[in-house]
Amino acid sequence: MAILRQSALIWCRKFSKRDLLTASVGLTLILFSFSFLFSFSKNTVVFTLNNSNFVPLTLLFNAKDRGAFCLDGSLPGYHFDKGYGSGSSNWVLHIEGGGWCESVATCSLRKKTALGSSNHMEQEVQFSGILSSDPARNPDFFNWNKVKIRYCDGSSFAGHPESEFHNGSGLFFRGQLIWEALMDEFLSMGMSNARQALLSGCSAGGLATMIHCDDFRAKLPKAAIVKCLADASFFLDEEDVSGSRTMQLFYNNVVNLHGVAKSLPTDCVAKMDPSLCFFPRQIIGSVKTPLFLVNPAYDFWQIQHVLVPAASDLPGEWRRCRLNIQKCNSHQMDILQGFRNNLLKALSEFERSKGKGMFINSCFIHCQTWMETWHGPNSPRIYNKTIAETVGDWYSEKEDAKRVDCPFPCNPSCYNMDFMRS
């Protein structure tokens, strides 16, 4: 990645300002496509997976007859840990994140990874956070039937085969079909008799959770308590520091390439460009099922790729700030506080809605529900409650459970990522 950035910088210096802007946007989209592949590779080691159990990969064999394939044509997969006791009829599903691919070139590279092919997926993974079997780490869901859904389609499980390129690229855009095949699999395994269920997801998986939340509700018994949780997935449609709408352009390419429009809210698609309906702010207004949002106000991924993409910071003025929020100068912090304010403004109507919940902390982090930040002695807190405790209160309807942190650096319980140590 460093070589790619350095080469692109030298190349860009040969062009005019107008050409430079065009090239910068293009570079941003390339880096944007792969950023999720590298975001956590050297930094999640700081979190321990205490008392987590290893769960084997299961391939979705019913997918073959339905044509529900990963990007490379391999079978999708999931990991399942059977519930017991009081949780034997309850289900918690978690969709992993991993960004999106917006072109034949980036999808072709992606299909050579676990985010595009089950051939590259780990044969077993540790369950932690919301999937942990330790009641001390996961007090509300530890003994439920737990599923980790692997993400291998590049479109938040929203792509359609009608949009596939028939030019020898060998790519399969089958996200929606994978989702439907997965649901049928879990229903046949006992989820059709669920008393309680929670669909959750992180990042691009959280976006998939929002998109499919009402469909998930519709597939389960009417008497069941069914809710959804989206973690670090409230991506904003904001200008970056150079004045470009990098995220909007990227989403436009994803939606058009994968044919995502058919999976998006019909009321939204009827009145605006489908790529805008891929933004969570437009989706959540259509979700009728109770929904909880976990989101850091200073989401490092959004700061690094939406607010300050590398290509918009060719002078390198933001480098230290992008890598460590504690290295931001006063001017940069003002911009980050403005980004936080825009997040809260976008969530204002959601905050007033009945049945909705939120935990917006002031940490420089990304996903927080699948690791130790979910619940533990050192987990981030708002009003002395962890994310897991807040979600538990909301799910059981003990309280309204809408918690918004004060601005950075007010919360000493935050774990703030430091990429300068990488």
CATH of the domain at 408: 3.40.50.1820
36 has pLDDT over 70: no
Give CA–CA dist 107/165, Å, rounded. Answer: 12
pLDDT bin (cut points 50, 70, 90) of residue 14 is very low
Residue 408 has pLDDT above 80, yes or no: yes
Mean per-residue pLDDT of the chain: 89
State the catalytic residues. Answer: 203, 299, 366
Q: Which amino acid is at 153?
A: D
pLDDT at 4: 35
Residues in the chain, total: 422
Q: pLDDT band at 18, cuts 50/70/90?
A: very low
pTM, to two decimals: 0.90
Per-residue confidence (pLDDT) for residue 124, from 0 to 100: 96
For residue 407, pLDDT beyond 90: yes
Choose between 39 and 146: higher pLDDT. 146
Mean pLDDT computed over 288-295: 98
pLDDT value for 33: 53
Tokens, residue 331: 């001017």
Kindly report, residue by residue over 159-207, the tens digit of the pLDDT: 999 999 866 788 999 999 999 999 999 999 999 999 999 999 999 999 9
Distance CA 290, CA 415 (A): 28
Q: Is the pLDDT of residue 294 over 60?
A: yes
Residue 169: the pLDDT is 83
> pLDDT tens across 50-92, in order?
445 899 999 999 899 999 999 999 999 999 999 999 999 999 9
Q: How far apart are CA 335 and CA 31, in angstroms?
A: 22
Which of 65-79, 83-97, 224-238, 408-422 is predicted least confidently?
408-422
Q: Are 275 and 255 in contact (CB under 8 A)?
A: yes
User: What crossing angle do the helices spanning 175-188 and 204-219 adopt, rounded to 10°?
Assistant: 50
**Residues 210-219 pLDDT 10s:** 999 999 999 9
pLDDT band at 422 (very low <50, low <70, confident <90, very high): low
Q: Could you tell me what percent of the chain has a pLDDT over 70?
A: 87
Residue 322, domain extent? 2-421
The total number of structural domains in the chain stands at 1
Lookup result for tokens 């940069």 = 332
* pLDDT for residue 372 is more than 80: yes
pLDDT (mean) for 218-237? 98
Q: What is the mean pLDDT of residues 340-357?
A: 95
